[in-house]
Amino acid sequence: MSSKVRLSFYLLILLALIAATCTSVQAPGAGFWSTSGIWSVLPPLVAILLAVATKNVVVSLLIGLFSAAYLMALQKYGAPGSAALHTFNIASAKMLEVVAKPGNAGILLQCGAIGGLVALLAASGGIRAVAELFVKLARGPASSQIVTWILGIFIFFDDYANVQIRGPIVRPITDRNRVSREKLSFILDATAAPIAGIALISTWIGTELTYIESGLTDAGLDTTYQAYGLFVSSIPYRFYNLLMLAFILLSAWTLRDFGAMYKAEVLARKGYLRDMNLNLVTVEEAMNGASDGLTVDDATADAIDGVGAEKDGDYREGRGVNKKRPTSNLVSALFALVPLLVLVFAAFGFFYTSGRAAILESGDAGKIAAIEHISASSVRDILGAADAAISIFQAALLAGIVAFIMSVLSKRTSASEAVGAWLNGVKSLVFTFVILILAWSLASCIGKDGLGTAKFLVGALSDETPVFMLPSLIFVLAAIVSFSTGTSYGTMAIITPLAIPFANALAPGDYSYLVVCTSAVLTGAIFGDHSSPISDTTILSATSARCGLLEHVGTQLEYALWVGAVAVLFGFLPVGCGLSIKLALPLALLATFALLMIRGKRVPDSGE
C-alpha cells in the first residue's frame, strides 16, 4: 500500500473515531453532531473516498457499511462499547433485509437471467453475428458511439434492461473500433436513467407520479393540478437529462473528450483497452474475449509511445479493414435477434400483466375503471404499476429458454454445453451481486429508517431562500443526496413532497414555477443514479461494458459535474429569473456544445 493510500486510510479511520466520540457524549439521535446529524454523511463519504484511494470497491463498501451500522448502534444503545458489540449484527441483518426485498431480489434474478442469456447468445455465435450486422453502420469511433446512443434511446422503457441489453451487443463493435471501455460504460449509463426518467411510458413514471401526487397533496394543490400534467410540463425543464443526452451525441460527433476520459480514449486508439481487472488488453485480445493481458503500469508508457500505431487504418471512419469485412451471416444473427426480441416483447407483456394485476389488487376504483379500456393513459398507468424487476427476470428467463432450444436444435451447442454456458454467464456476475448487495445495505443504513442522511441534507434548505435561487438549490441538493445515497427513487421520495409545497409557499399560484422546481428534483435525482459509485445502474453499466467500476465512475463523474454545472448556470438560474424555456433550453444546449469545443480536445486518430 502506497503512503498516500495509507494516509487516506488513517485519516478516514480518525474521522470515524471522532464521529464515535462526538455521538457518544450526548443522547442518541440528538443535535447537529448526532448520528442523525452531520455524522450521518460519514458512511457514504468513507465508502466513496476509500474506494478512490484503495481501488478496492468491496472492502470500501464493507467499511462504509460497518461505519453506518456502528452509528446506527450508537443511535440505539448510546454507549460506544455496547454499540461496537452490535455493529456486526446490524450490518449482517441489513444485508439479509435488502436481499429479501422483492424488488432487490428481482434485480438479482434479472441480472443473473440476462447474464445467462448473453452467455448463451455468445455460445451460439449470435452476439458476434449481430455485431457484424452493425458494422456497416458503425465503421469507426464516432459512428459506433452514435449507434450505442441510438439504441439507448430506443430501449427507453427501463434503465436496467437498457444497460444490460445494449452492452453485449455493442461491446464487440466499440472494441473493434477502438472506443474505450470507459467511454462505452459512460454512454450506456448516461442513456439509461436519463431517458427512462423522461419517457412518457416507462417503469419510472409510476414512481415519479406517486411522489408528485404526494407533493401536491401536502401543498393542498391536489384538486388544482394533475400529477401527470405536471410531469409532462416538467420534461422541457429536465436540463440535466436533456443536456447529458445531447452531450453524448456531440462528443461522439466531434470525437472530443477531456479529462480522464480523453486519456482513456487516446489509449484505446493506440489499440489498448482496460478490462474489469484494470489490465490492458489489445483490441485483438478483447475481441477474442481475453480478460488478462499487460498490466496497466507495464504497458501504459509503451502504448503512449506509439505501440500499435501501425494499425491506425483499421479503425478510421470509412477506411481500413471495416471496408473489407465479409458480409454478416444473417442466419447466425437470428440466434441472438430472436431471443432478444422475445426479451423485449415479453418484458412489455409481463409489465402489462403485472401492472394490471397490481391495480386490480389495489382496490382503487378510479384506476380500475380507467384500465378497462386500452388507451395511452391506461397503458401508462399499468406500466407504472408493474413490478419491473420481476417482469424483466421473467422475460429474460423466457428468452433464455428460446435461445437454449434454438442453439441445441440447430446443433450449434449440445444441451450440456448450453447449460454450462448459461451457468457461466450467471457466475460471471457474482462480483456484481456482491457490489449490489453491499451498496443496497449501505443505502438502507443511511436511509429514512436508518441514519436519515438525506433528511439531514434536505434540512439545508432555508425559508429565506430567494425565489430565483430555489430551482438551482433544489437541483444541487437532489444531486448531492442521490450521489451520497446511490438512489434516485429514494431522493425523489424524500425531496419531491417537500419541494412542491416549498415552491408553492415562495410563489403561491405560480404554476410555471412549480413545474421548474418539480423538474429540479426529478432531474437532480438522476445525477446520482447516473454518477454515484454506489448506484445500481452505475454498477450494472460498468459490468455490462466489462469496465472497472472505479474507472467508469472516475471518467464519467467529471462529465456529470460539468453538465450539471451547465444545467444550473444556463438552465435553472435563467429560468428562475424568468427567462422563457424557449430561450433557456437552446442557450443551455449551446453552452454544452461550447463546453466540448473549449474544454474538450479531439482524440487523434493515431494518438499523437
* Residue 244 pLDDT: 96
Residue 325: per-residue pLDDT: 40
Q: Does 252 fall in a domain?
A: no
> Does some domain include residue 56?
yes
Whether 139 and 49 share a structural domain: no
| Cell numbers found for residue 200 | 412518457
Higher pLDDT, 465 or 208: 208
281 in the same domain as 177: yes
> How confident is the model at residue 5, as a pLDDT?
53
Residue type, 559: Y
Residue 63: is its pLDDT beyond 50?
yes
Asked whether residue 304 carries a pLDDT value surpassing 50, the answer given is no
Q: Please, what is the average pLDDT of the chain?
A: 78
Terminal-to-terminal C-alpha distance of the chain: 33
Domain boundary among 81, 100, 119: 100
Highest mean pLDDT among 132-141, 229-238, 301-310, 517-526: 517-526
For the chain, what percent of residues have pLDDT higher than 90? Answer: 21
Q: What is the pLDDT of residues 565-581, one digit of tens each?
A: 999 999 999 999 999 99
**Amino acid making up residue 186:** F
- Same domain for 223 and 147, yes or no, is no
For residue range 12-44, list pLDDT tens digits in order.
554 555 455 454 444 444 444 455 567 777 787
Structural domain count, the chain = 3
Domain-terminating residue out of 100, 133, 153: 100
Q: Percent helix, strand, coil in the chain (nearest 5)?
A: 75, 0, 25
Q: What is the pTM of this model?
A: 0.73
Q: Are residues 231 and 261 in the same domain?
A: no
Indicate if the pLDDT at residue 555 is higher than 90: yes
Q: Are 291 and 181 in contact (CB under 8 A)?
A: no
* Confidence check: pLDDT of 305 > 80: no
Confidence of residue 585 (pLDDT cuts 50, 70, 90): very high
Q: What is the structure's pLDDT at 457?
A: 65
Q: Does residue 233 sit within a domain? A: yes
The whole-number pLDDT of residue 176 equals 86
Contact 530, 191 (CB under 8 A): no
> Are residues 80 and 213 both part of a single domain?
no
Query: Once rounded to an integer, what is the mean pLDDT over residues 351-370?
Result: 77
Residue-wise burial string across 356-394, b where 16 or more C-beta atoms lie within 10 A, e elsewhere: bebbeeeeeeebeebbeeeeeebbbbbbbbbbbbbbbbb
Four-residue CA torsion sign, 131, 135, 141, 144:
negative
Q: 389: which residues sit within 8 A by CB, 6+ positions away?
A: 102, 103, 104, 105, 106, 107, 109, 110, 160
Residues 390, 305: Cα–Cα separation, whole Å:
50
Instruction: Give pLDDT tens digits for 391-406.
Output: 888 888 998 999 899 8
* Same domain as 80, residue 112: no
Domain ends where: 100, 132, 153?
Answer: 100
pLDDT of residue 15: 54
Residue 238: give the domain boundaries: 205-243+446-537+557-602
- Tell me, yes or no, whether 435 lies in a domain: no
* pLDDT over 80 at 226, yes or no: no
Would you state the torsion angle of the CA atoms of residues 589, 594, 595, 601, taken in this order, to the nearest 10 degrees?
A: 130
> How does 183-200 read in b/e, with b if 16+ C-beta sit within 10 Å?
bbbbbbbbbbbbbbbbbe
481 and 493, same domain (yes or no): yes
**Chain segment 36-47, per-residue pLDDT in tens:** 567 777 787 777
pLDDT at residue 328 is higher than 90: no
Distance CA 369, CA 258 (A): 53
Regarding whether 223 and 186 lie in a shared domain, the answer is no
The pLDDT of residue 36 is 55
How many Å apart are CA 149 and CA 544, to the nearest integer?
Answer: 15
| 152 located within any domain | yes
The total of other beta-carbon atoms located within 10 Å of residue 127's CB is 23
Mean pLDDT of the region 434-443: 81
Is residue 24 a part of any domain in this protein? yes
